[in-house]
Amino acid sequence: MSGRRRLWCAATAGIIALVGACGREPLLVTRPAGASRSLIVRNVRVFDAPAAALREGLWDVVVRDGRIAAIEPPGAAGKGLPEIDGQGGTLVPGLVDVHTHTGSTANPPWQISLLPNVDANLAAFLYAGVTTVLDLGNLTPAVFRERERVATGAELGPRLYAAGPVFTAPGGHPAEVLRAWLPWYLRWYVLPRATREVATAEDGRRAVAALLPERPDILKLAIDAGAGGDVPCLAPQTIAAITAAGHAAGVRSIAHIGSSAEAIAAVRGGVDALAHSPWREDLSDE
């Protein structure tokens, strides 16, 4: 890339970031001053997850260093700890979202003009009681930096697991959607960071090897020919190469699919899980 091209790209990215920072709503959740990882939540009904039942009566829940240390009758424990009065509400375990995109937006595709506010998305998860998320497709390496900031406490958010980019065929899903929907000034930036378009098994192995230093929690593959059946899909040998490269490094894989045949191709190619069921048709007997 020439020096002029690099300067243009950097300037465009800077403008996007500057404009995107303007006019944003306050975060739904913020870290209070003097927040502690040790506290007591008093006067709550307690949902016992292992027993799948509510405990009778009200309880005090003691948290020490971010972990539940005790569940005691009201007033019996936790002296000297910061307190939250649950006022008879129900305390439940944090919810887990196993298919999300923390860099997405609530706007419809035709209103996408700026990069989403990831900080606001993470705060919204916590506001809704979601304390763990699996991000199945996002900008790389940005999502892994986000994961690190949350893990170290530098940023407030749910526990974040991330796949990074989506492995797909050249012109496959979601690359074809991003090319069609994103404005030009985002397209050049988003596509190479959100996808890995691989044509052959060797391309797939190289792409996995290049991603592994970022320590992806899982590999995401897209195997979906679209509603018209004309969107390029990963070949069986490419699927197998990607999953095998991941397994060799201890990283499992998950696939976005659209049909029963694509689900079967994913499983036969070594994919460990499906992100959702087929959407283009009813499940086949196979």
| pLDDT(181) > 90 | no
Give mean pLDDT, residues 186-192.
93
* Main-chain dihedrals φ then ψ at residue 163, nearest 5 degrees: -90, -30
Q: What is the mean pLDDT of the chain?
A: 88
- Least trusted range by pLDDT, from 62-66, 167-171, 196-200, 238-242: 62-66
- The tokens 């439940």 sit on which residue? 92
Q: Which two tokens stand for residue 159?
A: 């526990």
Task: Check residue 106 and give left, alpha or beta (phi > 0: left; psi -120 to 50: alpha).
Answer: alpha
* Main-chain dihedrals φ then ψ at residue 84, nearest 5 degrees: -125, 125
The three-state secondary structure class of 123 is: helix
Please state whether beta strands 39-48 and 59-64 pair in parallel, antiparallel, or not at all (unpaired): antiparallel
Provide the whole-model pTM.
0.84
Please report the pLDDT score of residue 18 as a whole number: 42
Please report the pLDDT score of residue 10 as a whole number: 47
Please report the pLDDT score of residue 17 as a whole number: 47
Q: Find out if CATH 3.20.20.140 is the number for domain 95-274.
A: yes
Please report the pLDDT score of residue 284 as a whole number: 77
The three-state secondary structure class of 281 is: coil
Interior angle at CA 196, CA 112 and CA 98, nearest 5: 70
* Main-chain dihedrals φ then ψ at residue 8, nearest 5 degrees: -65, -45
Confidence of residue 4 (pLDDT cuts 50, 70, 90): low
| pLDDT(174) > 90 | yes
On the question of a cis peptide bond just before residue 141, with omega within 30 degrees of 0, the verdict is yes
- Least trusted range by pLDDT, from 5-19, 44-58, 200-214: 5-19
Q: Across 27-41, 100-114, 255-269, which has the greatest mean pLDDT?
A: 255-269
| pLDDT(7) > 50 | no
Q: Which residue has the higher pLDDT, 266 or 13?
A: 266
CA distance 97 to 240: 27
Confidence of residue 156 (pLDDT cuts 50, 70, 90): very high
Q: Which residue has the higher pLDDT, 124 or 35?
A: 124
Please report the pLDDT score of residue 110 as a whole number: 63
CA distance 52 to 268: 35
| pLDDT(180) > 60 | yes
Give mean pLDDT, residues 108-133.
85
Q: Which two tokens stand for residue 95?
A: 């919810």
Which residues neighbour 120 within 8 Å (Cβ) at sequence distance 6 or greater? 24, 25, 27, 28
Which helix (H) or strand (E) element contains residue 18? helix 3-20
The CA distances from residue 201 to 42, 123, 169, 206, 237, in Å, are 57, 39, 11, 9, 6
Please report the pLDDT score of residue 11 as a whole number: 45
Q: Which of 242, 241, 239 is nearest to 261 (CA)?
A: 239
| pLDDT(6) > 60 | no
| pLDDT(12) > 50 | no
10 Å Cβ neighbour count for 207?
21
Please report the pLDDT score of residue 22 as a whole number: 46
Please state whether beta strands 53-54 and 39-48 pair in parallel, antiparallel, or not at all (unpaired): antiparallel
Instruction: Map out the domains of the chain as residue ranges.
Output: 39-91, 95-274
- Least trusted range by pLDDT, from 57-71, 229-243, 259-273: 57-71
Please report the pLDDT score of residue 21 as a whole number: 46
| pLDDT(128) > 70 | yes
- Least trusted range by pLDDT, from 3-7, 188-192, 211-215: 3-7
CA distance 216 to 137: 11
- Measured between its terminal Cα atoms, the distance across the chain in Å is 49
